[in-house]
């Protein structure tokens, strides 16, 4: 049996957007809503108020125009700050995402009850 799938790897916002991304000297971050990133401090995506929930929503909508995807099988994964972003996206847009996979990240305190269930691994 043959199953097709689509994978998208978006980048977070680099601390200094005028320089190439670099894990150590110019880390990328997401606006996970959990406070400024330890790696980027006051130059993190959150400090810059980057609208990453809107970005990911738009990215998913764009991919839907380019590939046949099942809207009930959209998954988001993240590590560290990316895990926090996955949690935030699931909390704010449970209507879009079926499940999230997180590693080495945490869920922000005080999140409201979800309107739709979202699986977690």
pLDDT at 65: 95
- CB of 10 closer than 8 Å to CB of 22: no
Mean pLDDT in residue range 22-50: 85
Q: Report residue 57: phi and psi, to 5°.
A: -60, -50
pLDDT at 38: 67
- The helix (H) or strand (E) run that includes residue 75 is strand 75-79
Can you say how many angstroms the Cα of residue 23 is from the centroid of all Cα atoms in its chain?
Answer: 17
Per-domain residue ranges of the chain = 13-120
pLDDT at 3: 75
pLDDT at 112: 66
pLDDT digits (tens, 9 = 90+) for 58-114: 999 999 999 999 999 999 999 999 999 999 999 999 999 999 999 998 887 766 677
Query: How does the average pLDDT of the chain come out, rounded?
Result: 89
Read out DSSP for 1-70?
------------EESSTTS--BTTTB-EE---SSSS-TTTGGGSTTTTT--HHHHHHHHHHHHHHHS---
pLDDT at 111: 65
Mean pLDDT in residue range 41-58: 93
- Judge whether residue 117 has pLDDT over 70: yes
């Amino acid at each position: 049996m043959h199953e097709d799938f689509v994978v998208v790897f978006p980048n977070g916002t680099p601390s200094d957007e005028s320089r190439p991304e670099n894990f150590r000297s110019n880390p990328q971050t997401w606006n996970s809503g959990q406070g400024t990133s330890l790696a980027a401090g006051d130059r993190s995506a959150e400090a810059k108020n980057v609208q990453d929930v809107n970005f990911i929503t738009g990215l998913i909508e764009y991919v839907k125009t380019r590939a046949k995807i099942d809207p009930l099988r959209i998954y988001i994964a993240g590590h560290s700050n990316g895990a926090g972003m996955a949690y935030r996206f699931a909390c704010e847009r449970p209507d879009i995402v079926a499940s999230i996979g997180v590693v080495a990240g945490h869920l922000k305190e005080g999140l409201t009850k979800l309107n739709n269930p979202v699986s977690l691994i």
